[in-house]
Amino acid sequence: MPEIRPATFETVPEFVPAERPKRRWLVPAAVAVVAVVVAGVVVVSRPGDAAPEAVTAAVSPSFVNDSDRRSRLIDELLARRVAAFKAGDLKAWLADIDPAAAKAIAFETKRFANLRQFRFTSFDLSASNVTATAVFDEKPDVIIDQISRLTADVDRSVIPYNWKLEFTGDTVRITDVAPSYHQAYENPLLFPPFDDVPLKSASAGGITIAAAVGSKSNPQAFLPAAQRAAKLVRSLWGSRPYATPGFVIFLGDHKQFLKWYDNNAGRQGAVGVTVFPRPADEEGTEQFDRPNPTVMHKPNEPSWIRRGAGSRIVLDVSQFTSARQAESVMVHEMAHAIAPHLIQSKAGGYGPKATNVQATWPIEGFARWVEFLGTPGYAQSAMRTVRAGRAYRPAGPFPPSEGFYAADAKRQSYNYNLSSSMFLAAEQAGGRQKAVDLYVCLSNQMEYQADTEMFINTCISGVGLNPSTVWTAQRRLAGSQ
């Protein structure tokens, strides 16, 4: 088991109430109880009735008192576990688990050791979404939300767990703990690595790299490459706001890569993926995307200032053929990970798909271009493949989102490389920072807007470049003059 390090909590930069989050676990039952106790009457209306019929109902005071008692016991249990985690006290963390619950003890021992390897700014536990049966049942099933924020994140996020509890008088015991598949709105944090296997890790400079204990992957050996990748990406991002303060990377074998943080997006053929946990408030309620309050913002400013709470990078080390390739993939994924607010987490809204889905080519093209900056000669070879891949040429200037991640490896590589040619051209026309500005502007666009030269030109000119100059350079690079 990895060594449990001393507590590494830091001050949360935003205001956090001193009291614990308001209890939500008895809400369904409380609504029913309050309706009866306060009003003392339930109104029932049936078809054909001239007027509603009043039906009185008696409620036992002991029932209400028992609800309050259980709520208090749950609050106290969760507070003890949070305090134990922050103190690095494994014994206290396990103290409320039934000694006979060997499976739960093993799971929580592993999870405690894994989580303690990461740096948090906040960590809390809250019960939620529990039905009224929790009031009557001596052995209820409850959903416990882990509400936490890593130092690498920009906001809190939530991971739910299923707990089985057992009440005996004024005592409550945990009899089982398991990952929950009850997910709040669009949260991609299914199958977190620290629930799956014991982890080993290494950290430096705002980067934490973890891998399964017993695997051939050595997190410490990957740190120098990760630090170089982060330095490159941060040098491009500069002082632009809303960037993640750090990076979290998980090294997995192929099976683990396909499982960890899988949100059914499909990963076959990929060597790396970045997922973005949904932001949540201190009570664990997931938050909506937050638009830029400046409606008429500049073209090189984001349309959204909050979408993801942070980022999690997962790499398939079984596909790496060299240390150079590993570093290149980390550069690519960090180019995504540094700016969660620029990545649309879902396809939403109404109307034709292209009108409510973010275009893929600017997202992947930008990340591929950043790869070029750290690998001499890569851009030239990539453009050669584009010029040679006339059979894959799309109808529009860049590949459509549908089919971008083609099963045909050559076509997929072509799509990435062709998409990157716009940022190469922008760099040639105005420098690297103009290419980054162009990425920010294009990431604001839906697919139909980023699919024609007319709309793309609004971004090119908006960031201070000459469209004619940029397109001439792009067509020369892609061989489409």
Rounded CA-CA distance 424/431 in Å is: 9
Cα 332 from Cα 130, distance rounded (Å): 41
Q: What residues contact residue 117 under an 8 Å CB cut-off, 6+ apart? A: 2, 5, 199, 200, 201, 203, 208, 210
Res 10 pLDDT > 90: no
DSSP, res 340: G
In DSSP notation, 316-338 reads: EGGG--SHHHHHHHHHHHHHHHT
DSSP state of 270: -
DSSP secondary-structure letter at 379?
H
Q: What is the pTM of this model?
A: 0.84
- pLDDT (tens digit, 9 = 90+) per residue, 419-466? 999 999 999 999 999 999 999 999 988 777 788 899 999 999 999 999
Helical spans, DSSP H, in 155-302: 193-196, 219-237, 254-259
Helix, strand, or coil here: 167?
strand
The beta strands (E) that lie in 140-206 are given as 141-150, 157-168, 171-179, 199-204
Contact criterion met (CB below 8 Å) for 257 and 267 = yes
pLDDT surpassing 70 at residue 321: yes
The CB density around residue 58, as the number of other CB atoms within 10 Å, is 6
pLDDT at site 167: 92
User: Quick one: pLDDT at residue 295?
Assistant: 62
**Distances, alpha carbon 175 to alpha carbons 83, 94, 118, 206, 438, in Å:** 20, 11, 27, 37, 54
**pLDDT tens-digit map of 63-92:** 445 777 888 899 999 999 999 999 999 999
Q: Do residues 150 and 248 touch, judged by C-beta distance below 8 A?
A: yes
Average pLDDT estimate for 255-272: 82
